[in-house]
Amino acid sequence: MTVSRSATAGGAKARKEAGETATGEGAALQMGELSELLGYVLKRAQLRVFEDFLRCVAPLQLTPAQFSVLLLLDRNPGRNQTEIASTLGILRPNFVAMLDGLESRDLCTRTRSANDRRSHNLVLTDKGKAVLARAKRLVATKHEARLNELLGPESRATLLSMLTRIAREF
């Protein structure tokens, strides 16, 4: 597996237009058991979905990671960095710069906890709530809507449940 962006290879472009057999020198490559490898297809699909997410939410300049942080802060106001980061699978050191970015854009605030003065209470600002609301709308009406259009609601639900199963039990 490997997988990054362009699926439409350059090999096809290099093919000559003359009448060649299907096995001519410029023929498309055989994917072989690659198309049966779940990890490979999984990664390709994930890249596509993230790509589309970025496009849909581009007006708000939010990455998937930042969006997930805002979502979590909205549902869990007052938590500290360790809790938010670990819930999202982010290591605490890497979460610092990320929060710096969000805080410098006035989307959330760090305030020292009264109980435990080591930790910071993380809270969304009003601007953060507004941006999140707009982001949620964009995601729902553009991103997820497009997925629903491709798969249909029931297939989408099935896919989600299988992926959740893998993420939790595998």
Partner DNA sequence: GATAATTGTTATCCACCATATCAAATGGGC
Partner DNA sequence: GCCCATTTGATATGGTGGATAACAATTATC
- Residues 114-133 close enough to bind a second copy by CB under 8 A: none
The Cα 59–Cα 69 span in angstroms is 18
Angle between helix 92-104 and 64-75 (nearest 10): 90
At its nearest, how many Å lie between a second copy and the CB of residue 49?
A: 5
C-alpha closest to that of 5 among 50, 61, 63, 58: 50
> For a second copy, which stretch binds (CB under 8 A), given 16-24, 59-67, 99-107, 122-130?
59-67
The Cα 7–Cα 28 span in angstroms is 12
Q: Choose from a second copy, DNA, none: what does 49 bind? Cβ within 5-8 Å by kind.
A: a second copy
- Residues 11-30 close enough to bind DNA by CB under 7 A: 13-14
Binding mask 56-85 for DNA (x = CB under 7 A): -------x-x--------------xxx---
Neighbours of 98 (CB within 10 A): 18
- Residue 23, amino acid: T
Q: Which residues of this protein are in contact with DNA, per CB under 7 A?
A: 2-5, 10, 13-14, 63, 65, 80-82, 89-96, 99, 110, 115-120
